[in-house]
Every structure is written in C-alpha cells, then in structure tokens.
Structure 1
Amino acid sequence: MPSPRKPNPARRNERSRRAVLDAARDLVSELGYPKVTIEAIAARAGVGKQTIYRWWPSKGAVIFDSFLALSEGSEGIRLPDTGDLEADLKTVMRATVAEFADPVFEAPVRALNMEILGDSTLAALYHEKVAGPVDEAKKERLRNAQQAGQLAADADLDLLLEVLYAPLYQRWLLRSGPLTPEYADALVEITLRAFGHRPAGPGPS
C-alpha cells in the first residue's frame, strides 16, 4: 500500500500567514486601527496568538505587512512601454482609478492612509517598501520617453508624478468626485501638456 502523504509544513505555514494578513486587513477596514487587537486577528484567522507573535513582533508589524501584501511584486514592476507615452500613461492611470474605486482595495488602503498621516515611522516604511519602488518604475518609463524625445529633457520627473497623481489622491481621499476612465485620461493629457510632451512620430511605412 502506498504510504500516506505527509502534510507540507511550508504550505500550511503560508496558508496560515495569508489568513493572518487577510484578517488584519479586513479588521482594520471594519474597526479602524486603534480597535484592532492581536486577539481579534488570531480569532478571525483561525490561528493562535502565539503563531502571530512567532512571525511578527507587534500589532503594527502584522498590519503593515497585511497592506504590503497588496503590493507584493511591486519591486519588479514595469510600466507598459509601447513607444507611445500618452497611451501608456493612460493605461496605467485607468488601472489606478479602477483600483481606487474597488472596495476590496479602497477600504484597507484608506485606513492605512489615515494611519500614515499621524505616524512618520509608518510613512517612511511605506515609502521604502511600496511607494518608492513603484515611483522608480514610473520614472524609468518617463526617462525612456525623454530619451525618445517625447518629453522635455529637463522635465522634473518627481514633480511630474506629483502633478499627475495629486489630483487623483485628493479626489479619492475627500470623495469629492467620481473616479472614471475619462478623469484618468484628462489628468494624463493636462500633465503631459505642462511638461513638454511631443507625441511619437509615425513608425516606418
């Protein structure tokens, strides 16, 4: 008779880790950061408190990791590069708008932003682990556009990204207007116009 298959501890641990991260993120969305406890996370995830403390030193650490899991793989992110900067940025901004309008993403990230406003350490960690790598990927695409002559060579890329994204973040944070594909397109068009965008020429016939 074949020997019974032994359970895979690594797979079991990963399943438990995911359950903890999902539970932490859901609870922060439902209750707000101050009301979330390790006990509540453990109960929601179906694990013991000792399991959580074996992997994370504090409530803050597990909650931050739960948000970080939303952006896993961000360090290897690359923006589309079809040769048409305006089209590529519209693709990215439309995806961003859709993500911000998705309740599964929107609620926990809104909670995280509220915590970042009052916690400089958390803000620095978020920039290091999430925002920084994503911004660098965006700037790499913009540098390619500069080299292709589609963007002013002296354009301040950090400022360009602020001009492009700040109105979106404000509208999202304040719930001051709809997040639509048309709005995403308008932000791209206005920003590129301000930073010396020159459309790509026609390809070879």
Structure 2
Amino acid sequence: MPRPRSEKAQQAVLAAMRRAVADGGYEAVTIEGLAAEADVSKQTIYRWWPSKAAILGEALLEGEIPGEPLELPPTGDLAGDLRAWFRAAHAHLARPENIALARALIAVTATDPDLGAALNRRFARQTVAWVSDRIESARETGQVRADADAAAIADQIVAITSYAALLGRPLDDAHADAFVEVLLHGIAAG
C-alpha cells in the first residue's frame, strides 16, 4: 500500500513544476531538478506521479496556467474573428515551449482520462466560450444558420488546434483560412 502524500512535499513539487515550466519550458523540466527544487527524493516523486506530464497536469489544475490567454474582442465579422483567433493561436504555438507544453497536456490526457478531462475543461473553457459567443452573435445577425451547434463548432476548433500541436506544426494562415472557409460554408445562413 503506497504511503500517503505529505501535503507540504506535494505542494513543493507542484510549485517547482510551475516555476520550471515558466522559467525554461516543459522540455527542460527533469524529475531530478524537481526533486532538488522541492527538497524531496526522486523516489518520492515517482511514488506519487507516473511521469513529469502527470505532475504538470496536477500542477496546472491547482495553479496558474502559463502563457497569455487569447482574448480577442469581437468585431461583428465571424470570419475575421475566427481568422484572428487562429493567427493568435498559431503565434502562441509557434514558440517551442508552448508546443512542448501542449504535447505534454495531450500526453496527460491520453494516460489519465480523469485528469485529462479536468484539464480539457480548464484549458478549453475559454476557447469554447469565445467561439460559442461568436456563433451566437453571428446567429443573431443572420450570418449563420439557426441550427448551427456552437458547442460542436468550438470542439472542432479545439480539436484542430490540438491536432496541429500534437504534430508540432501549428496551423499557418493558409490552413487556418481554409478551415474557416469550409466551416463558414457549412454553417452560413441562406
């Protein structure tokens, strides 16, 4: 039977992970470095977490999310807003440390479904809300069909961005523009 976690040691490891990711990016994080920073043994860390990705997942659930959130004001032009969002996401994911972080979160999601679901709710919530608001506004102004499912559209945008991160090649402008065109063709009113 595993020993119960020491709350103080656990919080020290999670804080060390958040600092390490903020300072050097996820790829630079090592279990040895976390252990030294948190003043615990590597064995203690491995007893509580199966991987550094799992530590990252828990650290992000309990702390601040690194990076700037994508906050783009609505313009009233759905196509323009979606293109602007993809360009901002591309710029964010073009930085190697952000791609590494996104891939780590995908790894956590694949290995720990409960933690992955919680991380998805936390990370995707802002995008889902942003897309849903834009679709609702566009519906009210007659730009999109009344039956356009805002939540499904938001899920697709999260999925395409996650897939690009997983492949390590964020969507460039041409791919983002093509996706927005196909999407809008499918939901356009009239």
Output the TM-score relative to the length of structure 2. 0.69
Q: Distance in 2 between matches of 1:154 and 1:70?
A: 34
Q: 1:108 to 1:170 in 2, by over 3 A?
A: closer
2:67 is equivalent to residue 113 of structure 1 = no
Q: Distance in 2 between matches of 1:161 and 1:145?
A: 14
Structure 1: segments with no counterpart, 5+ residues: 1-16, 199-205
Counterpart pick for 1:29 among 21, 27, 38: 27
Give the number of equivalent residue pairs.
Answer: 167
TM-superposed deviation, 1:78: 5.0
Identical-residue share of aligned pairs (%):
28
The question of whether the paired residues in 2 share the 8 Å contact of 1:164 and 1:188 is answered with no
- 1:93-108 matches, cutoff 5 A: 93-108=86-101
2:45 is equivalent to residue 48 of structure 1 = no
Map of 1:84 onto structure 2: 77
Q: Distance in 1 between matches of 2:170 and 2:25?
A: 26
Over the residues paired in the alignment, what is the CA RMSD in angstroms? 3.5
Q: 1:71 to 1:80 in 2, by over 3 A?
A: farther
TM-superposed deviation, 1:103: 0.3
TM-superposed deviation, 1:86: 0.8
Q: Distance in 2 between matches of 1:103 and 1:42?
A: 24
Output the TM-score relative to the length of structure 1. 0.64
1:162-200 Cα shifts (integer Å, max 9, x gaps):
44443443343235x6631221122111111111157xx
Choose 1 or 2 for highest CA Rg. 1
Structure 2: segments with no counterpart, 5+ residues: 1-13
- 1:138-157 matches, cutoff 5 A: 138-157=131-150
